[in-house]
Each structure stands twice: as C-alpha cells, then as structure tokens.
C-alpha cells in the first residue's frame, strides 16, 4: 500500500488540495494518509475535512490517521512512500510579524519576506534545523521515500536537504505550471495557449521563460515584449515589476511582481519612495494575506462542518502527478527544484536550481539546460549568494555567517549599512527566541 505522510497538515487549505488531488488519482485512492502537525486544533480540522472529502469523492477508500507532536512523528513517517512538507516554523504569529515589524524600525520594507530578503533568511534559519530533524527520522524509518518540499524559502530548504542529508528531495512551487498561461491572459494572447512550446529555467521564484513558441514554431517573444511595454505604459497593474524585467532584461520570470520587487535593489528604495507607487508594489502584503486566509478559513470551516458538502477536482499541483508517475512509470514532466550539478552551466554546482524534470518509475531526473543568458545568470547569482550563505549559517550555527548572508542580500544591502545589518540580525534572532536559540 502507498503511504503518504503530510508534515504540516495543519495547513488545512493546502492539505485539502494536495490530498484531495490524491483522492482523485486512481492509483492513490487506497493510500494510507498520515497527517502530522504540532497543533491539535489544526490537525483535528484537517482530519474532519479530509474524512468528509474521502467519503464524498473517494468512497472512503483512503485510510486516514493523525499524529501529533514530535513524539509521534517517527511513527507517522514509518514506511512512508512519499513525504509532503508544508510547515511554517513560528507561524504568522509571532514569527511573520517579527520578520516584518523589526526591519521597519531600520527603514527596511518588505512585501512577502518568505523567499529572500531578511525575512527569507530568518525563515530559513528557523526552518532548516526542524527539517534536519525530519531528515534523520526519514533516513531511519523510510529511507526510500521521496520528500516533496513545498515550504519556503524553497531554494534554501531544498538545497540544504540535498547537500547535507541523504533524503531524496525535490522542491515544488506553484508558479512554473501557470507562468505562460497567466502571461498570455494578461496580454490578451489566449489564442496562443494551445500547443505552445516553452522552456523555463533558473532558480525558484526567479526562473526565466527562456523561450516560448506557438504550435507552429513561431517565436512569441517579440509580440510579448511589445504588449508588455504597452501595458506598463498604459497605467498601473499588478505585474509591473515582471513586465519591467522584460523591458530591462529581455525575459519574463515565473513568480509574481510582489515577490520579485524585493529580490533586487531596484524597486523598494527609501531614497525613491515614488517607485512604490509607480510599480504598484504592495508593501506588507504577506501579513495582510495571512489575515485574510485565517479569516477565510474560519468561514469555510463553518460552512463545511454545517452541511458536510465538500468536493474536489484534481488541481495542477505537482504532488499527485509525481506520485502517480513514480508508482506507474507513466512519464510526467514538471519544473522542479534540484541541485544544479552542471545543469545550468553558468550557475554554481551547489546552487538549488529550478529546471525541467522528467518523472517515471526510476524517480525524478532533471534536464540539462546549458548556459543562461549572462544577465539572467547574474540576476540569479545575486539571490544564490544569499541562499548559499544562509545555508552555511544554518550548517555552522554562527551569527557571523548570518551577518554575511544579510550583507549580501540585494535589497537589505541597498538600504542599510553593515552596522545596521548586524544590529538588525541580532534583534531578529533575539526576538525569535527559542526558534533561533541555536545560533551563537
């Protein structure tokens, strides 16, 4: 029997989508589903929702069990075929609030703060020790399992697991599979969707649409560039930063403008506050999003519990398709996060890159890309520097290494002096308390 372990099962909306996808996949419908979390309330919510879903769409075929707290984690993992990771160490409160509010005191503003920037660094440093403890248990009780990591910061966490543990790991994001579709919808080019051929590669949240052709092999980039420039000139919209990337670097990237606004020194600048308005940059977006999601979930839960009517259709999330391909040997292609090891010639081997991968019964095999255009590799390197230094800080447990990671972060370095960066890091580490007590 296939066993699927979901770590961070208190992420109720996400566990509903991913496990719901499994219940819509014939080869996974009889799976054993082990839900693990450290919150009894959230774990119970997920159990109720998935049990209802199992009855409504799966004739009760899945076997659902729950495991609470570290003492039960190894039992949850035992004999797992697949492990899905969706944890958020420290949660919205207190950790996300800390990651936004303390940097503001230093004049450092953020939008999402979960991938790069000082917020992404701190999130990685609290999460990697927890994932390292997962790794030891996976190596002991389910050494052949595949770990499907959905937790951010994707490149830092996945990179650590691939370099410093023996766990078979791939990092999965939501942005690659919708990249060109959303672009065409924004530019009113939906007629080009069917039969399109594309290549996407780079790093997580900054992978590049390297080529895009229609079903007849015609290059679509000239038309994309023309329409993107016209749309930015016509007025503010939610994707102005990514369209500005097209103007200045020649290529579109996978992740949203609110994310990419903080991955570089160009757009969020205290010396030029007018750029915030010009590029429609939503400062403090992630805390607002968390509040909306918490409120929305409470309302959804009331409705679901009141009438028991819950259904699901298979989404475009990668997880269930990966499991299906490995079990059945039916090939499947995706954009996955893996160690570079020569896949992209002009990025470091130890970097975690996002590239096309083929999945079948042998596992997940990444595809060699060759070199990126120099400007794109250079943009990626500004992020990779911080990612590698953050992993080093997590490995060595030293504050000096944390300072180095923050000093090389593009946005942080553009706004703060070295002395302020050191002081900010110290204040954040102290504020996170037990989550970062290991860093001396």
Q: Do the domain assignments include residue 11? A: yes
Q: Are strands 197-203 and 206-213 parallel, antiparallel or unpaired?
A: antiparallel
Q: Given a cut of 90, is residue 297 above it in pLDDT?
A: no
Cβ-in-10-Å burial (0-12, 13-18, 19+) of 188 comes to exposed
Residue span of the structural domain in which 128 resides: 3-92+111-175
pLDDT of residue 305: 67
Q: Do the domain assignments include residue 156? A: yes
pLDDT digits (tens, 9 = 90+) for 258-269: 999 999 999 999
pLDDT digits (tens, 9 = 90+) for 109-154: 999 999 999 999 999 999 999 999 999 999 999 999 999 999 999 9
**C-beta of residue 308 within 8 angstroms of C-beta of residue 52:** yes
Give dist(CA 355, CA 438) in Å, integer. Answer: 33
Q: What is the mean pLDDT of the chain?
A: 96
**C-beta of residue 208 within 8 angstroms of C-beta of residue 202:** yes
pLDDT of residue 358: 98
- Known catalytic residues are 174
Give dist(CA 379, CA 264) in Å, integer. Answer: 8
Residues 19-26: what's their mean pLDDT?
A: 98
Establish how many alpha carbons lie within 13 A of residue 51's alpha carbon, considering only the half-sphere containing its beta carbon: 11
Give dist(CA 11, CA 4) in Å, integer. Answer: 16
Query: Which residues are CB-contacts of 289 (< 8 A; sequence separation ≥ 6)?
Result: none
Rg over CA atoms, the chain: 21
Q: What's the CATH number where 39 sits?
A: 3.40.50.720
Dihedral of the alpha carbons of 363, 60, 150, 186, in degrees to the nearest 10: 100
Note every long-range contact of 42-46, with CB atoms under 8 Å and residues 24 or more positions apart, other chains counting.
42/9, 42/10, 42/11, 42/12, 43/9, 43/10, 43/68, 45/10, 45/12, 45/301, 46/9, 46/10, 46/12, 46/15, 46/16
pLDDT of residue 298: 75
C-alpha to C-alpha distances, 181 to 173, 188, 199, 372, nearest whole angstrom: 16, 10, 13, 22
Q: Do the domain assignments include residue 206? A: no
pLDDT of residue 294: 80
User: 22 is written with which tokens?
Assistant: 């499994």
Residue ranges at the known binding site for substrate: 152
Residues 210-215: what's their mean pLDDT?
A: 98
Q: Given a cut of 80, is residue 296 above it in pLDDT?
A: no
Of 45-54, 224-233, 317-326, which gets the smallest average pLDDT? Answer: 45-54
Q: Do the domain assignments include residue 225? A: no
Q: How confident is the model at residue 247 (pLDDT cuts 50, 70, 90)?
A: very high
What crossing angle do the helices spanning 221-234 and 240-249 adopt, rounded to 10°? 130
Residue ranges at the known binding site for Mn(2+): 173, 205
Of 40-54, 70-84, 161-175, 206-220, which gets the smallest average pLDDT? Answer: 40-54
Q: Given a cut of 80, is residue 301 above it in pLDDT?
A: no
Q: Do the domain assignments include residue 139? A: yes
Residues 192-204: what's their mean pLDDT?
A: 97
Q: How confident is the model at residue 300 (pLDDT cuts 50, 70, 90)?
A: confident
Which residue has tokens 């939610």? Answer: 238
Q: Do the domain assignments include residue 120? A: yes
Which residue has tokens 């994001």? Answer: 173
pLDDT of residue 295: 81
Q: Given a cut of 90, is residue 18 above it in pLDDT?
A: yes
Q: Given a cut of 70, is residue 99 above it in pLDDT?
A: yes
What crossing angle do the helices spanning 12-23 and 285-307 adopt, rounded to 10°? 60
Count up the domains in the chain and report the number: 1
Residue ranges at the known binding site: 152, 173, 205
Q: Do the domain assignments include residue 419? A: no
Which residue has tokens 């001396």? Answer: 440
pLDDT digits (tens, 9 = 90+) for 382-411: 999 999 999 999 999 999 999 999 999 999
Q: Do the domain assignments include residue 49? A: yes
């Amino acid at each position: 029997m296939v066993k699927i372990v979901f770590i961070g099962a208190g992420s109720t909306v996400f566990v509903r989508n991913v496990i719901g996808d499994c219940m819509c996949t014939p080869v996974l419908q009889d799976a054993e589903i082990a839900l693990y979390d450290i919150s009894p309330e959230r774990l119970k919510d997920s159990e109720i929702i998935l049990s209802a879903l199992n009855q409504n769409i799966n004739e009760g075929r899945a076997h659902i069990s729950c495991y609470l707290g570290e003492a039960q984690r190894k039992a949850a993992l035992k004999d797992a075929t697949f492990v899905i990771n969706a944890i958020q160490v420290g949660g919205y409160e207190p950790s996300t609030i800390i990651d936004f509010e303390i940097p503001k005191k230093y004049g450092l503003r953020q939008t999402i703060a979960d991938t790069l920037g000082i917020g992404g660094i701190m999130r990685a440093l609290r999460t990697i020790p927890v994932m390292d403890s997962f790794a030891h248990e996976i190596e002991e009780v389910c050494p052949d399992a595949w770990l499907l990591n959905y937790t951010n910061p994707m490149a830092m966490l996945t990179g650590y697991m691939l370099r410093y543990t023996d766990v078979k790991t791939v990092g999965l994001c939501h942005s690659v599979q919708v990249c060109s579709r959303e672009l065409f919808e924004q530019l009113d080019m939906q007629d080009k969707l069917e039969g399109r051929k594309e290549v996407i590669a780079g790093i997580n949240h900054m992978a590049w649409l390297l080529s895009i052709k229609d079903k007849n092999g015609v290059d679509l980039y000239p038309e994309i560039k023309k329409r993107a420039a016209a749309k930015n000139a016509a007025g503010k919209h939610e994707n102005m930063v990514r369209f500005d990337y097209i103007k200045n670097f020649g290529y579109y990237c996978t992740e949203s403008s609110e994310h990419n606004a903080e991955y570089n020194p160009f757009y969020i600048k205290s010396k030029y506050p007018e750029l915030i308005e010009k590029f429609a940059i939503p400062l403090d977006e992630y805390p607002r999003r968390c509040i909306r999601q918490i409120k929305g979930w409470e309302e959804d839960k009331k409705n679901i519990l009141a009438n028991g009517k819950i259904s699901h259709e298979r989404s475009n999330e990668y997880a269930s398709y990966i499991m299906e391909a490995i079990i059945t040997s039916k090939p499947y292609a995706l954009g996955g996060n893996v160690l570079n090891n020569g896949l992209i010639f002009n990025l470091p081997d130890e970097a975690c890159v996002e590239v096309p991968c083929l999945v079948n019964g042998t596992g997940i095999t990444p595809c060699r890309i060759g070199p990126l255009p120099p400007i794109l590799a250079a943009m990626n390197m500004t992020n990779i520097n911080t990612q590698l230094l953050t992993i080093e800080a997590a490995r060595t447990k030293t504050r000096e290494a944390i300072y180095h990671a923050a000093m090389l972060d593009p946005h942080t370095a553009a706004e703060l002096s070295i002395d302020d960066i050191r002081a900010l890091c110290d204040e954040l580490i102290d504020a996170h308390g037990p989550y970062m007590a290991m860093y001396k």
